[in-house]
């Protein structure tokens, strides 16, 4: 049976469904329909086809009494959904045909869909890839998160500087979701705890309603579909009639405004935390609703609460939902008569925790007084967890320390399994942040190297390469990505190489056309496209990249008749609105771009572009067009990276450090197909002990000294000598991220890249070897690892 039989669909059916939805669901006549109306109608017609597999999956889970996975995440960075669904249902051709018959261009309609940007970066996108793989592997699962009214802010550049405006994806109706008004839980905050007959009783001072919205997530070829359940905060009382009658019309709306605030906006911080009360409320809000929901389902199915761990695996995506431990214990003790020991034991059997960073500023902690004020019962429970932990292990690690509640320690102690996200990162987790807890709980820490879904990050975003792969090795790789190694037999085949180059050049043309239309920028598509796309952060070192760009510009100017390899340096990424140094780096990149792009001497060799508002949809255009992937974080600081995987898979070799998953990427694609530079994590740690290292490194590098002198001299800032004093001061006086120490090595490696790029055969082989070697990085492999090692969950069928 093909997927089309399964969902009973032909292009005619689809066309009929679209027309019917346009008329009956949207209320528009074809002659008056806008692009937006067509998109709604198309989406609804596609959604109809997801519902059957969705119901069937739910039925099978109930009938087979299968264990369910609950993935709790503050972020799901989904992007657009139409293509996701047409790809997984394998109806792209049909959709194109049906829309054409209706006088519409499918691809124009697709472009009209706003990104669901309920996440900041890698952590949120990982959750989205995991949802795709869970459905593809037919593992019964729910994603639980927050239905933010405003996702990640929109980024604009004004005179090169980032400004932010609110994003409004929900200003129009979100057709993929189903509202579930009957699924709602009261979530409490504040108040005090009293005791009655030895039972604790929480008397909260504030209550909001968590109301469910479900989006089906269909897997490859509609084999299975799971649910993404997002919670919206609503008032328990819609409207204060008393205030209204008094003539206080603003006050009458207060209950609604207050409640709604909780799910209003995604915190735009990435790998830093903001100790804000509202953030803690968001975390508890969605975690409590999710735990209550899974307990209700367990009860509804008639299972004994004492068997919860046989039916439920809860994964905490970072510490943001770490309150799940105390919340589950609270419900078991206060509502189900468990003893504390029994409840702690049960919660631990259900919980797994994934750590995504070693950066100290990202390890969540809450002022104890704030925490105790918002969640008084949980605060008490955490004290009890801490006491039992100390009594059982003799460890002197505390959860509450120096007036803070430390969420990393809480998550670690409450989980039966703690994992890092790359081999190197997991080792460092054991050696550093959780050194002592690892000793107290040996074997609790394990590794699950991140992955990416090949459906979105190859099949959907790169039709040119998709076609070549299928022509070369046949189908099946889409859900068995390690089959890409079959490409290895063709790497030296001239016709394969030519086709591989043709695919890349199609993608570069597509990017060039997109940029021309969007920003009126013209790209030289024969130049190397050198891409760094990710959040702007000191440890990711976009400044290393732009400093190297300036040094190259100098060299070209000094010798304009040299044998230069033309390059386009492309940057993409947002800075947290409050992160001043990251914003300075953005401005510097834009300033340097303005100077270099207007230089007639270097113009044919070097161009810098930085399209504003990088997001998932932009990544889908940039990644397939990339020739060189910049993964240049300070070794030991990038937990994994996932953009590194997307770029390499799409035939873009990496220039990078031995950091995060770069280490494993290099092993899989072969060291000869990876441009390695820089200090190792161990060397970086040593270097930092070497007082005055940055000034010495700068002074011993003529190229870097010259570049920093130019910046200080105002070459890129219209003579303003102070515009970049923050960056300069940082580099000379401190440079924790070792930009100065890695600079010369990086510059030299870039010149090696230039030379190899001129050898077209060698370069093509390298790029294709990257594609061939990356199969292991499918998130299907990652999810199998979690299912086997952490969840004890199985594929159905
Ligand atoms: I903590 N990550 C993120 O995107 N946001 C965060 O708040 C935190 C971590 C990222 C890491 O920086 C990446 O190295 C990693 O690949 C990604 O999480 C997914 O694990």
How far is CA 779 from its chain centroid? Answer: 13
Position 404 pLDDT exceeds 80: yes
178-216: string of b/e by CB count within 10 Å (b at 16+)? eeeeebbbebbbebeeeeeeeeeebebeeebbbbbbbbb
pLDDT (mean) for 479-500: 98
Q: Do 181 and 197 reside in the same domain of the chain?
A: yes
**781 catalytic per annotation:** no
Q: Band of the pLDDT at 1, cuts 50, 70, 90?
A: low
For 313-334, what is each residue's pLDDT tens digit? 999 999 999 999 999 999 999 9
**pLDDT given at position 356:** 98
Q: Give me the helices (H) in 137-204, please.
A: none
pLDDT (mean) for 17-45: 97
Query: 256 C-alpha to center of ligand 1: Å?
Result: 34
pLDDT (mean) for 276-303: 97
* Count of C-beta atoms within a 10 Å radius of residue 285: 24
CA angle, 683 then 354 then 795, to 5°? 125
CB 448 less than 6 A from any atom of ligand 1 = no
CB 122 less than 6 A from any atom of ligand 1 = yes
Specify the 3-state DSSP secondary structure of 542. helix
Query: 441 C-alpha to center of ligand 1: Å?
Result: 25
Strands 654-656, 675-676: parallel, antiparallel or unpaired by DSSP? parallel
Point out the ligand 1 atom lying closest to the alpha carbon of residue 121.
4
pLDDT (mean) for 114-128: 98
Point out the ligand 1 atom lying closest to the alpha carbon of residue 450.
20
**574 catalytic per annotation:** no
Tokens of 794: 């199985």
**356 catalytic per annotation:** yes
Query: 660 C-alpha to center of ligand 1: Å?
Result: 11
Residue 8 lies in a domain: no
Point out the ligand 1 atom lying closest to the alpha carbon of residue 421.
20
CB 424 less than 6 A from any atom of ligand 1 = no
Q: Do 213 and 320 reside in the same domain of the chain?
A: yes
Which of 117, 122, 665 best tests ligand 1's pocket when mutated (most atoms within 8 Å of CB)? 122
| Residues 354 and 316 sit within 8 Å (Cβ to Cβ) | yes
Q: Which of 448, 472, 498 is the last residue of a domain?
A: 448
Strands 417-420, 351-354: parallel, antiparallel or unpaired by DSSP? parallel
Residue 106 lies in a domain: no
Q: Which of 424, 448, 472 is the last residue of a domain?
A: 448
* Count of C-beta atoms within a 10 Å radius of residue 163: 14
Percent of the chain at pLDDT > 70 equals 100
Query: 668 C-alpha to center of ligand 1: Å?
Result: 22
Specify the 3-state DSSP secondary structure of 231. strand
Q: Do 387 and 488 reside in the same domain of the chain?
A: no
Instruction: Look at the chain and report how many structural domains it folds into.
Output: 2
CB 358 less than 6 A from any atom of ligand 1 = no
Q: Band of the pLDDT at 242, cuts 50, 70, 90?
A: confident
Q: Which residue has the tokens 């066309």?
A: 15
**pLDDT given at position 582:** 98
For 643-660, what is each residue's pLDDT tens digit? 999 999 999 999 999 999
Q: Do 355 and 295 reside in the same domain of the chain?
A: yes
CB 419 less than 6 A from any atom of ligand 1 = no
Q: Do 368 and 459 reside in the same domain of the chain?
A: no
Q: What is the CATH number of the domain that holds 187?
A: 3.40.50.2000
Residue 53 lies in a domain: no
For 443-466, what is each residue's pLDDT tens digit? 999 999 999 999 999 999 999 999
Q: Do 459 and 352 reside in the same domain of the chain?
A: no
Nearest residue (CA) to ligand 1, atom 9: 356
Point out the ligand 1 atom lying closest to the alpha carbon of residue 270.
7
**pLDDT given at position 559:** 98
Q: Band of the pLDDT at 140, cuts 50, 70, 90?
A: very high
Residue 43 lies in a domain: no
Nearest residue (CA) to ligand 1, atom 7: 271
Q: Do 136 and 269 reside in the same domain of the chain?
A: yes
Spatial separation of the C-alpha atoms in residues 669 and 653, rounded to whole Å: 9
Nearest residue (CA) to ligand 1, atom 18: 123
For 180-227, what is each residue's pLDDT tens digit? 999 999 999 999 999 988 899 999 999 999 999 999 999 999 999 999
pLDDT (mean) for 7-12: 83
Q: Do 416 and 548 reside in the same domain of the chain?
A: no
**223 catalytic per annotation:** no
**276 catalytic per annotation:** no
CB 230 less than 6 A from any atom of ligand 1 = no
CB 638 less than 6 A from any atom of ligand 1 = yes
Residue 553 lies in a domain: yes
**642 catalytic per annotation:** yes
Query: 119 C-alpha to center of ligand 1: Å?
Result: 11
Residue 627 per-residue DSSP state: S
Q: Which of 414, 448, 482 is the last residue of a domain?
A: 448
* Count of C-beta atoms within a 10 Å radius of residue 287: 26
Query: 670 C-alpha to center of ligand 1: Å?
Result: 25
Q: Which residue has the tokens 């997109």?
A: 514
Q: Do 424 and 508 reside in the same domain of the chain?
A: no
Nearest residue (CA) to ligand 1, atom 2: 123
Position 527 pLDDT exceeds 70: yes
Nearest residue (CA) to ligand 1, atom 19: 123
Domain that holds residue 433: 65-80+115-448
Query: 669 C-alpha to center of ligand 1: Å?
Result: 23
Point out the ligand 1 atom lying closest to the alpha carbon of residue 639.
14
Residue 615 lies in a domain: yes
pLDDT (mean) for 251-263: 87
Specify the 3-state DSSP secondary structure of 599. coil
Residue 33 lies in a domain: no
Q: Do 458 and 351 reside in the same domain of the chain?
A: no
Q: Do 154 and 244 reside in the same domain of the chain?
A: yes
Q: Do 382 and 459 reside in the same domain of the chain?
A: no
CB 411 less than 6 A from any atom of ligand 1 = no
Residues 6+ apart with CB under 8 A from 486: 472, 473, 477, 772
Which of 121, 322, 359, 576 best tests ligand 1's pocket when mutated (most atoms within 8 Å of CB)? 121
Residue 213 lies in a domain: yes
Q: How far is CA 603 from CA 254, 382, 556, 568, 630, in A?
A: 58, 61, 10, 10, 22
Position 591 pLDDT exceeds 90: yes
CB 75 less than 6 A from any atom of ligand 1 = no
Percent of the chain at pLDDT > 90 equals 94
Nearest residue (CA) to ligand 1, atom 16: 641
Please count the CA atoms within 13 angstroms of the CA of 684 that sit on its side-chain side: 21
CB 420 less than 6 A from any atom of ligand 1 = no
Residue 774 per-residue DSSP state: -
Which of 128, 130, 267, 271 best tests ligand 1's pocket when mutated (most atoms within 8 Å of CB)? 271
């Amino acid at each position: 049976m093909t997927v089309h039989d399964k969902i009973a669909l032909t292009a005619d059916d689809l066309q009929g469904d679209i027309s019917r939805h346009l008329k009956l669901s949207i209320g528009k006549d074809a002659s008056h329909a806008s692009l937006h109306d067509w998109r709604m109608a198309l989406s609804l017609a596609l959604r109809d086809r997801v519902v059957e597999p969705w119901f069937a999956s739910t039925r099978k889970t109930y009938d087979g009494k299968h264990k369910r996975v609950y993935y709790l995440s503050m972020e799901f960075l989904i992007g657009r959904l139409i293509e996701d669904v047409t790809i997984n249902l394998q109806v792209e051709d049909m959709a194109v045909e049906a829309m054409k018959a209706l006088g519409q261009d499918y691809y124009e309609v697709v472009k009209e869909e706003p990104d669901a940007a309920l996440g900041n970066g890698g952590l949120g996108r990982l959750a989205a890839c995991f949802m795709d793989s869970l459905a593809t592997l037919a593992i019964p699962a729910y994603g639980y998160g927050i239905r933010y009214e405003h996702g990640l802010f929109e980024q604009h550049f004004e005179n090169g500087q980032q400004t932010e405006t609110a994003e409004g994806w929900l200003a129009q109706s979100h057709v993929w979701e189903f509202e579930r008004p009957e699924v709602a839980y009261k979530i409490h905050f504040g108040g005090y705890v009293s005791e009655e007959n030895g039972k604790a009783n929480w008397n909260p001072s504030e209550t909001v309603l968590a109301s469910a919205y479900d989006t089906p997530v269909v897997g490859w070829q509609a084999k299975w579909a799971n649910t993404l359940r997002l919670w919206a905060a609503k008032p328990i009382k819609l409207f204060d009639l008393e205030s209204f009658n008094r003539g206080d019309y603003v006050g009458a709306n207060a209950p609604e405004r207050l409640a709604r605030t909780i799910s209003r906006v995604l915190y735009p911080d990435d790998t830093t935390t903001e100790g804000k009360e509202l953030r803690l409320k968001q975390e508890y809000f969605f975690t409590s609703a999710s735990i209550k929901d899974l307990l209700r389902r367990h009860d509804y199915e008639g299972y004994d609460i004492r068997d919860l761990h046989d039916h439920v695996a809860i994964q905490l995506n970072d510490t943001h939902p770490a309150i799940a431990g105390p919340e589950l214990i609270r419900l078991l003790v206060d509502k189900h008569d468990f003893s504390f020991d029994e409840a702690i034991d049960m919660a631990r059997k259900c919980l797994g925790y994934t750590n995504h960073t070693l950066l100290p500023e990202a390890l969540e902690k809450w002022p104890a007084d704030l925490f105790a004020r918002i969640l008084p019962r949980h605060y008490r429970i955490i004290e009890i967890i801490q006491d039992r932990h100390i009594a059982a292990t003799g460890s002197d690690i505390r959860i509450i320390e120096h007036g803070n509640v430390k969420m990393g320690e809480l998550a670690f102690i409450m989980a039966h399994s703690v994992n890092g996200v790359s081999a190197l990162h997991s080792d460092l987790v054991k050696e550093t942040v959780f050194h002592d807890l690892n000793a107290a709980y040996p074997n609790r820490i394990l590794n699950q190297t991140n992955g990416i879904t090949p459906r979105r990050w190859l099949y959907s975003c790169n039709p040119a390469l998709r076609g070549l792969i299928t022509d070369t090795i046949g189908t099946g790789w889409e859900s068995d990505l390690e089959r890409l190694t079959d490409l290895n037999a063709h790497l030296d085949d001239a016709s394969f190489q030519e086709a591989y180059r043709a695919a890349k050049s199609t993608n570069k043309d597509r990017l060039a056309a997109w940029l021309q239309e969007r920003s009126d920028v013209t790209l030289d598509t024969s130049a190397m496209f050198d891409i760094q796309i990710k959040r702007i952060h000191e440890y990711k070192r976009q400044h290393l990249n732009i400093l190297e760009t300036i040094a190259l510009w100098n060299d070209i100017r000094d010798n304009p008749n040299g044998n230069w390899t033309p390059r386009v340096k492309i940057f993409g990424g947002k800075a947290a609105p409050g992160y001043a140094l990251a914003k300075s780096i953005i401005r510097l990149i834009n300033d340097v771009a303005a100077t270099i792009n207007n230089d007639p001497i270097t113009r044919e060799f070097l161009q810098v572009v930085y399209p504003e508002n990088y997001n998932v949809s932009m990544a889908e255009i940039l990644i397939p067009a990339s020739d060189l992937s910049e993964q240049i974080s300070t070794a030991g600081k990038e937990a994994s990276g996932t953009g590194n995987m997307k770029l390499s898979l799409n035939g873009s070799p990496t220039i990078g450090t031995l950091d995060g998953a770069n280490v494993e990427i290099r092993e899989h694609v072969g060291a000869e197909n990876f441009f390695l530079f820089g200090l190792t994590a161990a060397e970086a740690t040593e270097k930092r002990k070497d007082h005055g290292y940055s000034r010495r490194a700068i002074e011993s590098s003529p190229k870097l000294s010259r570049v920093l002198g130019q910046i200080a001299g105002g070459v890129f800032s219209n003579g303003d000598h102070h515009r970049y004093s923050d960056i300069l001061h940082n580099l000379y006086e401190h440079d924790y991220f070792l930009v100065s120490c890695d600079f010369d090595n990086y510059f030299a490696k870039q010149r090696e890249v230039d030379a190899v790029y001129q050898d077209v055969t060698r370069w093509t082989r390298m790029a294709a070897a990257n594609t061939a070697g990356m199969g292991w990085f499918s998130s299907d492999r990652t999810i199998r690892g979690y299912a086997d090692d952490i969840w004890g969950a199985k594929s159905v069928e």
